[in-house]
A and B are shown apart, each in its own frame.
Chain A
Amino acid sequence: MQDAELAALAQAGDREAFGELVARYAAQARRLATAILGDPDDGDDAAQDGFLAALKHLGRFDPERPFGPWLMRIVANAAGDRRRRRRVRKTEQISGRQAAATPGPDVETDRQRFRIALQAALAELPERQRMAVVLFDAEGYTHREVGEILNVPEGTARSDVFHARRALREKLEAWNDWKEEG
């Protein structure tokens, strides 16, 4: 069943249809909210806020347009609201671990260190660039859709993705040899 059909059913009170929409977009929504807030628990709270806000305003969804960008914009707004309401704690903690995140002899440990290094690199990006690169490279949205979600022109979204990628590449340069060996 298409997203628009599920949305119409959910709006009419069909709980299962809403559950199906949540299941389809839970991973994306949680990742985006976590990327914005830097903490998975806060991200889950924000993603839930986003889903409930979307449910309340399903009447405003245009079924002629894709559901994903509409929902992701609401989730991004919900995460932004949460960020404004509370201080983000974990972002600084992740950044603090960056010094230790360099390749070593143990592969499994290095894998974990790479994850930490990537988290730290993402946390250091400006928020809009972080959202743009996650939406484009991790979630598969087009530059135009990224622009719609972030409420910026397509060219700005394209520029944000480019600058975010370049910054990530620079910060993770030490890991290139390790990955090639692995």
Chain B
Amino acid sequence: MSNPSPFDHRRDPELGQAMRDVLTPPDEARFVARVVAAAESVYGGAVPSPMLNILTAWARPGLVAAMLLIAVAAFSAGLWIGRSGAAVTAASPTIGDPLVDSGQLAVPALMAGQEAPDVDVVLAVAMGR
């Protein structure tokens, strides 16, 4: 070992080699294999893959686009239901028609109507006539 000085920027190769000899454990290849195997636990969870990065980057705009689509679809569906509902109301028969035509009165028939049934009809159903 050479005499060191606090101002000496040079390394002491003899001391360096002696320390490497003393501190270097055996089986480096085995150690590397062990660390690489242990790294699978990290890769299995936290490390993001390129595909995951892409998906993550698109997540926020994707959510916004999906919400817009849902809003438009809901608005359109509302309009369609409103129009078709009006048409159904106009075309649907009154509760009196099936009663008169078939002569068979039943509770489901009352429930199927779009308008409130007449009091006499309800009484007729309740009395089984």
B95 to chain A, nearest CB (A): 68
User: With an 8 A cutoff between CB atoms, is A153 at the interface?
Assistant: no
Question: In which size bucket is the chain B interface?
Answer: 35 or more
Closest to B46 in A: A56
From 49 to 92 in chain B, residues with beta carbon under 8 angstroms from any chain A beta carbon are 49-50
Number of residues from A at the complex interface, CB < 8 A: 46
Number of A-B residue pairs, CB cutoff 8 Å, is: 112
B41 to chain A, nearest CB (A): 8
From 15 to 49 in chain A, residues with beta carbon under 8 angstroms from any chain B beta carbon are 15, 18-19, 22-23, 26-27, 30-31, 34-35, 40, 43-44, 47-48
Say whether, besides A55-B47, A169-B1, A169-B4, A22 and B23 are in contact (CB < 8 Å). no
Provide the residues of chain A in CB contact with B24, threshold 8 Å. 27, 30-31
> Chain A interface mostly helix, strand, loop or mixed?
helix
Provide the residues of chain B in CB contact with A91, threshold 8 Å. none
Q: B28–A26 contact, CB under 8 A?
A: yes
Bound together, the chains give a CA A137 to CA B23 distance in angstroms of 13
User: With an 8 A cutoff between CB atoms, is A172 at the interface?
Assistant: yes
User: With an 8 A cutoff between CB atoms, is B129 at the interface?
Assistant: no
Q: A143–B9 contact, CB under 8 A?
A: yes
Provide the residues of chain B in CB contact with A13, threshold 8 Å. 43, 47-50
Bound together, the chains give a CA A157 to CA B4 distance in angstroms of 14
A136 to chain B, nearest CB (A): 7
Bound together, the chains give a CA A165 to CA B3 distance in angstroms of 8
**Cβ-defined partner of B1 (8 Å) among A26, A27, A172:** A172
Closest to A136 in B: B11
User: With an 8 A cutoff between CB atoms, is B5 at the interface?
Assistant: yes
Provide the residues of chain A in CB contact with B25, threshold 8 Å. 30, 34, 40, 43-44
Contact code string B23-54 (vs A, CB < 8 Å = 1, else 0):
11100100110111011111100111110000
Can you name 13 A-B residue pairings with CB atoms under 8 Å? Answer: A18-B36, A19-B36, A22-B36, A26-B31, A30-B25, A31-B19, A43-B25, A44-B25, A52-B42, A56-B46, A138-B19, A165-B4, A168-B15
- Interchain residue pairs A-B with the least CB separation, the first 8: A165-B4, A40-B25, A137-B16, A31-B23, A162-B6, A138-B19, A19-B36, A138-B16
